[in-house]
Amino acid sequence: MASRAARPNWRDRAFVVRTYDFGEADRVVVLLTQNHGLVRGVAKGVRKAKSRFGSRLQPFVEVDALVYPGRSLATIASADTVSYYGARIIDDFDRYAAACAVMETAERLSYDQADPELFALVQEALSHLQSRQHPTMVLDAFILQATEHAGWGLSLFDCANCGTPGPHKAFNAAVGGAVCNNCRPPGSMDVDRETLHDMWLMQRGHAASEARVGQIHRATVAHLQYNLEAGLKSFKIMEQA
């Protein structure tokens, strides 16, 4: 029987989600790509001191990668820098922790299929982390928009349980957002009604007040962790700030 023809190589825009050493000089790199989903590949020789290739396969760098598909791991043959987002991130603990959480969230929400919208949301979040915007607000806006895109959107005005129009003053991640006083489940968070309004704005890509950062972040993290059924390592890093 003739062997199956090798799959053609491809080029795509990508971000490095995480890496780990492989062999003496290689590295396994997990890429979030624009048109091929999440890709795990080997970058050969990148741990050598003189490897310029390896310097490009770093967090918070958008690259144009050449990839050869494989059975279990692809081979990342080259990567050219498109945009570098690390300038204000790597020297600022809060921005670094938020950027790590963006990438970890994106990995958990990505699958082995094209998702240009998720890729664009990561680009936008890393770009905003270069600005004076509050890093936690940037992260929470990313989470709210990315989970909305994934089909886990929150109801932040009408009660998520019975549909009673808001504004309301309680939030429950398991129910799916705002809850009214008549049917709020035990364990619901008490929140300022403006908190839910700010989250509604952020979910739609609009600017929101930084006056309620703490409440917004607690509700957003509860929402993400409930739907992922697990916490993120990056959130633990943020708690150390």
Domain spanning 93-238, CATH architecture:
Up-down Bundle (1.20)
- Residue 150 CA to residue 144 CA, distance in Å, equals 10
Classify residue 129 as exposed, middle or buried by CB count within 10 Å of its CB (0-12, 13-18, 19+): buried
What are the phi and psi torsion angles at 112 (to 5°)?
-80, 55
Sheet containing 170-172: order of strands? 177-179, 170-172, 189-190
CA neighbor of 144 nearest in space, from 62, 206, 59: 206
pLDDT digits 0-9 by tens, 39-65: 999 999 888 866 777 778 889 999 999
- The residue type of 6 is A
10-84 CATH fold: OB fold (Dihydrolipoamide Acetyltransferase, E2P) (2.40.50)
Q: Could you state, in order of their start, the residue ranges of all structural domains in the chain?
A: 10-84, 93-238
pLDDT in tens, 190-226: 999 999 999 999 999 999 999 999 999 999 999 999 9
pTM, full prediction: 0.92
Tokens of 41: 């590949």
